[in-house]
Structure 1
Amino acid sequence: MIIPTEPIGSLPRSPQLLQARAAFQTGELGEDAFTSAQREAVRDTIERLEAAGSPVVTDGEQSKPSFLTYPIAGSPSLSSDGVVIPFADGHQRQLPALTAGPFRYLVSADQYLRAALQHARVPVKQAVVAPSALSLLYPAAGIVGYPREEYLHQLADEAEAEIRRCLDAGAHVVQLDFEEARLSLKLDPSGQVLDDFVSLNNQVLARFTESERARIGVYSGPGADQNATHSLDVDYAELLPRLFRLTAGNFYLQLASEADPDRVLRLIADELRPGTRVFVGVTDPTDPRVETAEQVRDRVLRAAKHIPVDQLGTCDDAGFAPFADDTSTSREVAFAKIRARVEGTALAAQILG
Structure 2
Amino acid sequence: MSQPHPPFRADIVGSFLRPAALKQARTRFQQGEIDASALKAVEDREIRRVVEQQEAAGLNVVTDGEFRRAWWHFDFLEHLNGVTGYFGEHGIQFQGKETSTKQIRVDGKVGFDANHPMLDHFRYLASVAGVTPKMTIPSPSVLHFRGGRRKIDSDVYPSLDAFFADTADAYREAVHAFYDAGCRYLQLDDTVWAYLCSEKELQAARDRGDDPDRLQSIYAEMLNHALADKPDDLHVGLHVCRGNFRSTWISEGGYEPVAETLFGKVNVDAWFLEYDSDRAGSFDPLRFVPEGHQQAVLGLITTKTGQLEDPAAVRARLEEATRFVDKRQLCLSPQCGFASTEEGNDLAEQDQWEKIRLTVDLAREIWGD
Is TM more than 0.5 here?
A: yes
1:170-185 alignment runs, 5 A limit: 170-185=182-197
Higher mean C-alpha displacement, 109-118 vs 77-86: 77-86
Identical-pair percentage: 20
* Corresponding residue to 1:110 among 111, 116, 119: 119
1:348 matches 2:353: no
User: How many Å separate the matches in 2 of 1:86 and 1:141?
Assistant: 18
- Out of 78, 89, 98, the position equivalent to 1:91 is 98
Are the aligned partners of 1:55 and 1:122 in contact in 2 as well (CA < 8 Å)?
A: yes
- Closer, same or farther: CA 83–239 of 1 in aligned 2, 3 Å: farther
Query: For residues 169 and 309 of structure 1, do their structure 2 counterparts lie closer, same or farther at Cα, with a shift above 3 Å needed?
Result: farther
The structural deviation recorded for 1:179 is 1.3
Pairwise mapping of residues 265-280 of structure 1 onto structure 2 (< 5 A)? Answer: 265-280=283-298
Change (3 A) 1:139 1:23: farther
Alignment of 1:224-303 (within 5 A): 224-231=244-251, 233-244=252-263, 245-258=265-278, 264-303=282-321
Whole-angstrom CA distance in 2 between matches of 1:37 and 1:127: 21
**Residue in structure 2 matching 1:129, options 135, 138, 163:** 138
Q: 1:221 aligns with which of 223, 228, 241?
A: 241
Q: Following the alignment from structure 1 to structure 2, what is the Cα–Cα distance between the partners of residues 260 and 64? A: 27
Cα offset for 1:138?
A: 6.1
Distance 1:110 1:292, change over 3 A: farther
Deviation at 1:36? 0.6
Over the aligned positions, Cα root-mean-square deviation in angstroms equals 2.8
In 2, Cα distance between equivalents of 1:315 and 1:330: 18
Q: Deviations over 1:130-163 (max 9, x none)?
A: 1111124564275254114444333223212222
Among 2, 13, 17, the residue aligned to 2:18: 13
1:103 counterpart SS class:
strand
Q: Determine the structure 1 residue equivalent to 2:68.
A: 63
Q: Residue 188 of structure 1 corresponds to which residue in structure 2? A: 202
Q: Is the 8 A contact 2:298 2:331 kept in 1?
A: yes
**2:290, 2:248 → 1: CA distance?**
28
Q: Do 1:125 and 1:175's aligned partners in 2 also have CA atoms closer than 8 Å? A: yes
Cα distance per residue 1:325-346 (max 9 Å; x no partner): 2352332221111111000111
Secondary structure, in 3 states, of the residue corresponding to 1:338?
Answer: helix
Q: Which amino acid aligns with 1:165?
A: A
Q: What code does the residue aligned with 1:168 have?
A: D
- Give, in whole Å, the separation in 2 of the partners of 1:172 and 1:207: 14
Q: 1:20·1:34 contact (CA, 8 Å) conserved in 2?
A: yes
1:285 counterpart SS class: coil
SS of 2:14's partner is: coil
Partner in structure 2 of residue 163 of structure 1: 175
Residue 100 in structure 1 maps to residue 122 in structure 2: no
The residue correspondences of 1:130-145 to structure 2 (distance < 5 A) are 130-136=139-145, 139-140=149-150, 142-143=152-153, 145=155
Question: How far apart are 1:311 and its partner, in Å?
Answer: 1.0
Match of 1:333 in 2: 351
8 Å contact from structure 1 (residues 108, 162) kept in 2:
no
Amino acid at match of 1:117: A
Separation of aligned partners in 2, 1:44 and 1:313: 26
Tell me the distance in 1 between the aligned counterparts of 2:195 and 2:296: 20
Question: What number of residue pairs does the alignment pair up?
Answer: 346
- Residue number in structure 2 paired with 1:50: 55
Distance apart, 1:180 and its partner CA: 2.0
Query: Which residue pairs with 1:146 in the alignment?
Result: 156
Cα 1:222–1:259 change in 2 (3 A) is: closer
Going from structure 1 to structure 2, the CA distance change for 1:301 and 1:72 (only over 3 Å counts) comes to closer
Q: 1:5 to 1:43 in 2, by over 3 A?
A: same
Tell me what 1:80 maps to: 87
Q: 1:229 to 1:159 in 2, by over 3 A?
A: same
Residues in 2 aligned to 1:205 and 1:8: alpha-carbon distance in whole angstroms = 20
Given residue 304 of structure 1, which amino acid in structure 2 is its aligned partner? T
| CA distance 1:74–1:249, shift in 2 (3 Å) | closer
Query: Does the 8 Å contact 1:129/1:176 carry over to 2?
Result: yes
Which sits farther off after the overlay, 119-128 or 299-308? 299-308
Q: Aligned equivalents of 2:131 and 2:144: distance in 1?
A: 34
- Structure 1, unmatched stretches of 5+, are none
Partner amino acid, structure 1, of 2:217: D
Query: d(CA) in 1 for partners of 2:161 and 2:222?
Result: 11
Contact 1:46–1:59 at 8 Å: present in 2 too?
yes
Distance, in Å, in 2 between the alignment partners of 1:309 and 1:172 is 24
Sort the Cα spacing of 1:83 and 1:269 in 2 relative to 1 into closer, same or farther, 3 A.
Answer: farther
Task: Tell which deviates more after alignment, 322-331 or 32-41.
Answer: 322-331
Separation in structure 2 between the aligned mates of residue 88 and residue 260 of structure 1, nearest angstrom? 16
Aligned pair in 2 of structure 1 residues 133, 74: CA closer, same or farther (>3 Å)?
A: closer
Distance 1:260 1:180 in 2: 14
Higher deviation after alignment, 321-330 or 248-257: 321-330
Indicate if the aligned counterparts of 1:127 and 1:177 stay in contact, CA closer than 8 A.
yes
Deviates more, 1:190-199 or 1:285-294: 190-199
Cα pair distance change 1:203/1:82, threshold 3 Å: farther
